[in-house]
Amino acid sequence: MVSDKNSKIWFLGRSYDEYIKMFSLNKEELKNIRILDCAAGASSFTSHLLRKGYDIKAVDILYNKNPEEIKKQCQNDFNTLLDVHSGLDNKVNWKFFKNPENMIEQRIKVYKEFITDYSLYKGIKYIEGHLPSLPFNDNYFDLVLSSHLLFLYQDRLGYDFHRKSIEEMLRISSDEIRIYPIVKLRGEGSKSEFLSRIIKELCNLANFEIVKVDYKFRRGGDEMLKITKT
């Protein structure tokens, strides 16, 4: 990670309810499968499912840090992002969150829930690892989810990183990968230019489908990429 806010990749988290909508997940279909939240950051999806007895792991490059370091990272990134987002109301959709205050309240709740769970399961359910080389066996997970990394940060993570990362997720998945969003951070809601090229170059490995989802915060961010192994 780098310190420049214009080239930084934020260590933030989304809630269980956001994941359900971002990835069009069916709660019943999540039972009896192995799930990976890839580049999970401070999201609470894993902690929520663990409490319900689901088989899920989360992986992130920063999961080598101790809980106190992670807490400081969450707080610093969250506070810095608030400054960056100030005055951007015209670029976001407040359908999911009622207003900026509600978003702040929920984001704080999410990272606190994550930190509590991380303190309990660091190295067990929260695994240090980074794309494009993950510490898991071939075909280990049935479903791999990746939120707010690929395509969004195309200006900081090049095409080779994107292609190798998706190939790696295909390696560790036996069935399906879902990536959200597919718009770029600095694109006024436009899709990443990497998207069509990846689909074209990897179509022999899997089926690719752009799917509309019932979630949008960032402009244009109401679609995910669904990848099914052939």
> How many Cβ atoms are within 10 Å of 11's Cβ, its own excluded?
21
Asked whether residue 81 is assigned to any structural domain, the reply reads yes
Question: Does any domain span residue 194?
Answer: yes
From 82-86, 129-133, 182-186, the region with the lowest mean pLDDT: 82-86
pLDDT at residue 2, as a whole number = 32
Its pTM stands at: 0.90
Domain count, the chain: 1
Tens digit of pLDDT for each residue in 140-174? 999 999 999 999 999 999 999 999 999 999 999 99
* Phi, psi (deg, nearest 5) at residue 13: -140, 150
Identify the residue with better confidence: 127 or 221.
127
Summarize pLDDT for 46-98 with one digit per residue, the tens: 999 999 999 999 999 999 999 999 999 988 887 776 666 555 555 666 676 76
**pLDDT tens string 89-123:** 556 666 767 677 777 788 889 999 999 999 999 99
CA dist., res. 189 & res. 136, Å (int):
34
In a domain, 5, yes or no: no
Residue 11 maps to a domain: no
For position 173, what pLDDT does the model report? 98
Q: What is the 3 state secondary structure string of 170-214?
A: HHHEEEEEEEECCECCCCCCCECCHHHHHHHHHCCCEEEEEEECC
Q: What average pLDDT does the structure give for the chain?
A: 89
Per the CB < 8 A criterion, the answer to whether 11 and 41 are in contact is: yes
Kindly report, residue by residue over 1-54, the tens digit of the pLDDT. Answer: 333 444 577 788 899 999 999 999 998 999 999 999 999 999 999 999 999 999
118 within domain boundaries: yes
What's the CATH code of the domain at 66?
A: 3.40.50.150
Residue 218 lies in a domain: yes
Is 84 part of any domain?
yes
Would residue 6 count as lying in a domain? no
More confident residue, 87 or 201: 201
Q: Is 222 helix (H, G, I), strand (E, B) or coil?
A: coil
pLDDT band at 187 (very low <50, low <70, confident <90, very high): low
Q: Which tokens belong to 8?
A: 């930084």
Q: What is the pLDDT of residue 74?
A: 85
Structural domain boundaries enclosing 219: 16-229
The confidence score (pLDDT) of residue 85 equals: 58
Given this model, what pLDDT does residue 3 score?
A: 35
